[in-house]
Copies of this chain bind each other. A is one copy, B any other.
Amino acid sequence: MTSTPTPLPGLHAVVPAGGAGTRLWPLSRSGRPKFLLDLTGAGSSLLQQTWARLVPLTGPGRMLVVTGVAHAEAVAGQLPALAPGNLLAEPSPRESAAAICLAAAVVRTRDPEAVIGSFAADHVIRDVPAFHRAVTEAVSTAQQGYVVTIGVTPDRPATAYGYIRAGKPLEVPGAPSALAVERFVEKPDAATAEAYLAEGGYRWNAGMFVSRADVLLDQLRRHRPALYDGLAEIAAGWDGPHRAELLDRVWPGLEKVAIDYAVAEPAADAGAVAVVPADLGWDDVGDFSSLAALLPPGGNGDGPGGRASADRDAADRDATGLRVLGDRARVLSLDATGVVAGAGDRLIAVLGVDDVVVVDTPDAVLVTTRDRAQEVKKLVDRLRGDGRTELL
């Protein structure tokens, strides 16, 4: 284990870039979803950060992205080093099993010994060296024939994530942390989440899987044979002249199923899944409250100029309490905490509000609170119900 990443021979990274991020509306839109956005003020999108985190482990030639046809051009634009043959454009959404296992099947045709690692395009990992160490252990474990997941050490009793119940150490060479997985458990209620945290044997399921491609596909064949057959047929012709014809004919009939149900859970029941626990500073940026926690504190947005001393305390408070995504000079705050996200070029003024969420875009503005940020999805549902698709 080292904090300097070294390429891991045989590892191919698969990045499923899907999901609308409706709880981040109106920043995240169907035409410009969460993974294409810079949501941390880093100057790069979540997808680009995911690329930057993975490419030291694989090199650019072993990076694959699976996305919808509608976003293929944007993905290619954001990732100029992505090989055209490694951008897998899905003709229609077919859930994560089809997306990830198609990539696995394509990789297997190129490299029968390949290990694939699947990592979401729209998550944040603050401790990248820890991530590299965890992936390195996961690859060593995968090479022993396990389907491996990276289990995030919980720091709170979250109810928004599924959990992984870990078992005994596997004592795999090169992977001292690897444990057997007893089972995956669904998102718990608050009391259960508290119990998981207290018990200590549970990790968050962050949707990160590492496996030999042939092992993963063998599990898929065992549990979803029709889906396996379809993907194998497409993959066999992927690098030839008939890719489009195969996609047109086979893809629409594929089963829509999450990889958790199609592979991970049945494999866990069979004792074939391992977990590498890791403390990554991981976040799925699930809503604006998460977003606020990821943004750095900073001084308030008004420029130099006269200010009454009576305002200083409030300004100091803003400096630590109000997070800004976008141009801080366009935010004018007084006695306010929470988060302001400005995607337009307007001034955003906030006065005397606590834990507020203000999101400004050229065609929609959202005002809510961090407590209610999870419910933004309800607004999106209403817009959809009202047929206002131009705002989605």
Contacts and interface: CB of A to CB of B under 8 A. Distances in A.
Contact of A305 (B311, B335, B365, B382): B382
Contacts of A391: 347
B351 A375 contact: yes
A349 B302 CA distance: 25
A144 to B, nearest CB: 48
A348 interface: yes
Interface string A332-371: 1011000000000011111111001010111111111101
Nearest to A380: B349
A60 interface: no
B368 A353 contact: yes
Contacts of A346: 361-365
A353 B356 CA distance: 9
A303 interface: yes
B350 A307 contact: no
B369 A365 contact: no
Nearest to A315: B382
A383 interface: yes
A222 interface: no
A376 interface: yes
A240 interface: no
Contact of A376 (B306, B351, B368, B376): B351
A26 interface: yes
B386 A368 contact: no
A379 B364 CA distance: 23
A268 B388 CA distance: 61
A84 interface: no
B385 A306 contact: yes
A291 to B, nearest CB: 15
A218 to B, nearest CB: 42
B379 A351 contact: yes
A312 interface: no
A312 B389 CA distance: 22
A75 to B, nearest CB: 28
A388 B331 CA distance: 13
Given A332-B383, A385-B305, A386-B302, A367 B367 contact: yes
Given A346-B362, A362-B346, A363-B346, A368 B382 contact: no
A9 to B, nearest CB: 50
Interface string A317-343: 000000000000000101100000000
A80 interface: no
Interface of A: 26, 302-308, 311, 332, 334-335, 346-353, 356, 358, 360-369, 371-372, 375-376, 378-379, 381-383, 385-388, 391
Given A332-B382, A347-B363, A352-B368, 19 more contacts: A302-B382, A302-B383, A302-B386, A332-B379, A332-B383, A334-B375, A347-B383, A348-B365, A349-B364, A349-B366, A350-B367, A351-B366, A351-B367, A351-B368, A351-B375, A352-B371, A353-B369, A358-B365, A358-B367
4 closest Cβ pairs, A-B complex: A352-B372, A305-B385, A305-B386, A351-B368
